[in-house]
Amino acid sequence: MTVDATTSSTAATSTMAANPAGYTARVTKKVLDSDDFMKLLSAQMANQDPLKPMEDTAFIAQMTSFSSLAQMNQLTKDFTIMRSNQAVTAANAFIGRNVTVNVKADGSETATGTVTGVDITGDEPKLHVNGTTYPLSSVVRIETGIVAAPGTVTVPDTSVISTL
Protein backbone atom coordinates (compact mmCIF):
# COMPACT_ATOMS: atom_id res chain seq x y z
CA MET A 1 0.00 0.00 0.00
CA THR A 2 1.33 3.43 -0.94
CA VAL A 3 1.36 6.17 1.70
CA ASP A 4 2.42 9.72 0.92
CA ALA A 5 2.53 13.04 2.80
CA THR A 6 -1.15 13.72 2.18
CA THR A 7 -2.41 10.28 3.20
CA SER A 8 -3.87 9.79 6.61
CA SER A 9 -2.50 6.62 8.21
CA THR A 10 -5.87 6.01 9.89
CA ALA A 11 -7.70 6.25 6.57
CA ALA A 12 -5.12 4.00 4.93
CA THR A 13 -5.47 1.36 7.64
CA SER A 14 -9.26 1.36 7.54
CA THR A 15 -9.21 1.19 3.73
CA MET A 16 -6.86 -1.79 3.85
CA ALA A 17 -9.19 -3.61 6.27
CA ALA A 18 -12.27 -2.76 4.19
CA ASN A 19 -10.48 -3.39 0.90
CA PRO A 20 -8.19 -6.43 1.04
CA ALA A 21 -7.11 -5.83 -2.58
CA GLY A 22 -4.91 -3.01 -1.20
CA TYR A 23 -6.13 -0.02 -3.16
CA THR A 24 -4.40 3.22 -2.26
CA ALA A 25 -6.33 5.56 0.02
CA ARG A 26 -5.63 9.24 -0.30
CA VAL A 27 -7.09 11.93 1.95
CA THR A 28 -5.93 15.33 0.80
CA LYS A 29 -5.71 18.41 2.96
CA LYS A 30 -6.67 21.78 1.62
CA VAL A 31 -4.18 23.82 3.66
CA LEU A 32 -0.85 22.92 5.23
CA ASP A 33 -0.28 24.40 8.65
CA SER A 34 2.74 24.77 10.93
CA ASP A 35 2.25 21.28 12.39
CA ASP A 36 2.48 19.77 8.90
CA PHE A 37 5.62 21.77 8.19
CA MET A 38 7.27 20.62 11.40
CA LYS A 39 6.37 16.96 10.64
CA LEU A 40 7.86 17.24 7.16
CA LEU A 41 10.97 18.99 8.47
CA SER A 42 11.56 16.41 11.21
CA ALA A 43 11.03 13.55 8.71
CA GLN A 44 13.48 15.22 6.33
CA MET A 45 16.09 15.64 9.06
CA ALA A 46 15.60 12.09 10.38
CA ASN A 47 16.00 10.56 6.92
CA GLN A 48 18.87 12.67 5.62
CA ASP A 49 22.24 11.22 4.72
CA PRO A 50 24.54 11.67 7.77
CA LEU A 51 27.52 12.18 5.46
CA LYS A 52 25.71 14.89 3.56
CA PRO A 53 23.43 16.73 6.02
CA MET A 54 20.88 19.29 4.96
CA GLU A 55 22.45 22.65 4.35
CA ASP A 56 21.41 25.48 6.62
CA THR A 57 20.56 27.65 3.61
CA ALA A 58 18.01 25.07 2.43
CA PHE A 59 16.52 24.96 5.92
CA ILE A 60 16.30 28.77 6.07
CA ALA A 61 14.74 28.90 2.59
CA GLN A 62 12.09 26.39 3.63
CA MET A 63 11.34 28.30 6.84
CA THR A 64 11.08 31.56 4.88
CA SER A 65 8.74 30.01 2.32
CA PHE A 66 6.51 28.61 5.02
CA SER A 67 6.52 31.90 6.92
CA SER A 68 5.54 33.76 3.75
CA LEU A 69 2.74 31.30 3.12
CA ALA A 70 1.42 31.73 6.67
CA GLN A 71 1.53 35.53 6.32
CA MET A 72 -0.30 35.38 2.96
CA ASN A 73 -3.01 33.22 4.52
CA GLN A 74 -3.41 35.70 7.38
CA LEU A 75 -3.49 38.60 4.91
CA THR A 76 -6.22 36.87 2.92
CA LYS A 77 -8.28 36.40 6.11
CA ASP A 78 -7.74 40.04 7.08
CA PHE A 79 -8.82 41.27 3.63
CA THR A 80 -11.95 39.11 3.80
CA ILE A 81 -12.85 40.61 7.17
CA MET A 82 -12.10 44.12 5.92
CA ARG A 83 -14.27 43.61 2.82
CA SER A 84 -17.11 42.33 4.99
CA ASN A 85 -16.83 45.31 7.34
CA GLN A 86 -16.76 47.69 4.39
CA ALA A 87 -19.94 46.13 2.99
CA VAL A 88 -21.67 46.59 6.36
CA THR A 89 -20.55 50.23 6.48
CA ALA A 90 -21.84 50.79 2.95
CA ALA A 91 -25.16 49.14 3.82
CA ASN A 92 -25.55 51.33 6.92
CA ALA A 93 -25.13 54.42 4.74
CA PHE A 94 -28.39 53.47 2.97
CA ILE A 95 -30.53 53.66 6.12
CA GLY A 96 -33.10 56.43 5.67
CA ARG A 97 -32.42 56.76 1.95
CA ASN A 98 -34.79 55.98 -0.84
CA VAL A 99 -33.47 53.18 -3.07
CA THR A 100 -34.54 51.19 -6.08
CA VAL A 101 -33.63 47.51 -5.96
CA ASN A 102 -33.89 44.65 -8.41
CA VAL A 103 -36.55 42.23 -7.19
CA LYS A 104 -35.55 39.65 -9.80
CA ALA A 105 -31.93 38.86 -10.66
CA ASP A 106 -32.48 39.65 -14.36
CA GLY A 107 -33.62 43.21 -13.51
CA SER A 108 -37.07 42.73 -15.03
CA GLU A 109 -38.81 43.83 -11.81
CA THR A 110 -37.75 46.55 -9.37
CA ALA A 111 -39.02 47.95 -6.08
CA THR A 112 -38.55 51.42 -4.62
CA GLY A 113 -38.70 52.42 -0.97
CA THR A 114 -36.88 53.76 2.03
CA VAL A 115 -34.25 51.58 3.69
CA THR A 116 -35.38 51.03 7.29
CA GLY A 117 -32.71 48.59 8.44
CA VAL A 118 -29.79 46.34 7.57
CA ASP A 119 -29.47 42.61 8.17
CA ILE A 120 -25.82 41.52 8.47
CA THR A 121 -26.37 37.79 8.94
CA GLY A 122 -25.05 35.75 6.05
CA ASP A 123 -22.45 36.48 3.41
CA GLU A 124 -23.73 39.85 2.20
CA PRO A 125 -25.58 42.63 4.04
CA LYS A 126 -29.26 42.86 3.19
CA LEU A 127 -31.37 46.01 3.15
CA HIS A 128 -34.91 46.19 4.58
CA VAL A 129 -37.09 48.03 2.06
CA ASN A 130 -40.89 48.12 2.34
CA GLY A 131 -40.87 45.17 4.75
CA THR A 132 -38.81 43.00 2.40
CA THR A 133 -35.11 42.15 2.57
CA TYR A 134 -32.91 42.66 -0.52
CA PRO A 135 -29.18 41.98 -0.95
CA LEU A 136 -26.97 45.05 -1.06
CA SER A 137 -25.87 44.06 -4.56
CA SER A 138 -29.45 44.44 -5.85
CA VAL A 139 -29.44 48.25 -5.41
CA VAL A 140 -29.70 49.98 -8.79
CA ARG A 141 -30.54 53.55 -7.71
CA ILE A 142 -29.99 55.69 -4.63
CA GLU A 143 -31.72 59.00 -3.97
CA THR A 144 -30.25 61.56 -1.59
CA GLY A 145 -33.54 62.72 -0.13
CA ILE A 146 -36.53 60.99 1.36
CA VAL A 147 -39.39 60.67 -1.10
CA ALA A 148 -42.49 62.47 0.27
CA ALA A 149 -44.79 61.76 -2.67
CA PRO A 150 -44.36 60.29 -6.13
CA GLY A 151 -42.17 62.63 -8.15
CA THR A 152 -41.33 64.85 -5.13
CA VAL A 153 -38.06 64.65 -3.23
CA THR A 154 -37.49 66.31 0.14
CA VAL A 155 -33.84 67.15 0.69
CA PRO A 156 -32.70 67.06 4.34
CA ASP A 157 -31.68 70.42 5.85
CA THR A 158 -27.87 70.64 5.87
CA SER A 159 -27.58 74.09 7.47
CA VAL A 160 -25.41 74.54 10.56
CA ILE A 161 -27.45 74.42 13.77
CA SER A 162 -24.88 76.09 15.96
CA THR A 163 -21.19 76.79 16.05
CA LEU A 164 -18.88 76.23 18.98
2-15 pLDDT, tens digit each: 444 444 444 444 44
What single letter denotes the amino acid at residue 5?
Answer: A
Q: What is the mean pLDDT of the chain?
A: 75
The pLDDT assigned to 162 comes to: 43
Q: Give the pLDDT of residue 134.
A: 93
Burial of 112 (0-12, 13-18, 19+ CB in 10 A): middle
What's the pLDDT score for residue 125? 92
Amino acid of residue 23: Y
- Summary count for the chain: helices (H), strands (E): 3, 7
Q: What is the model's pLDDT at position 9?
A: 41
Over residues 106-161, the pLDDT tens digits come to 878 999 999 999 998 888 899 999 899 999 989 999 987 655 555 555 555 444 44
Give the Cα separation of 5 and 54 in Å (integer): 20
Domains and CATH numbers, the chain: 1-30 (no CATH), 93-154 (2.30.30)
Give the alpha-carbon dihedral of 13, 19, 24, 27, to 10 degrees. -60
- Cβ pair 125, 119 in contact under 8 A: yes
Residue type, 146: I
Question: CA–CA separation, 129 vs 8, rounded Å?
Answer: 51
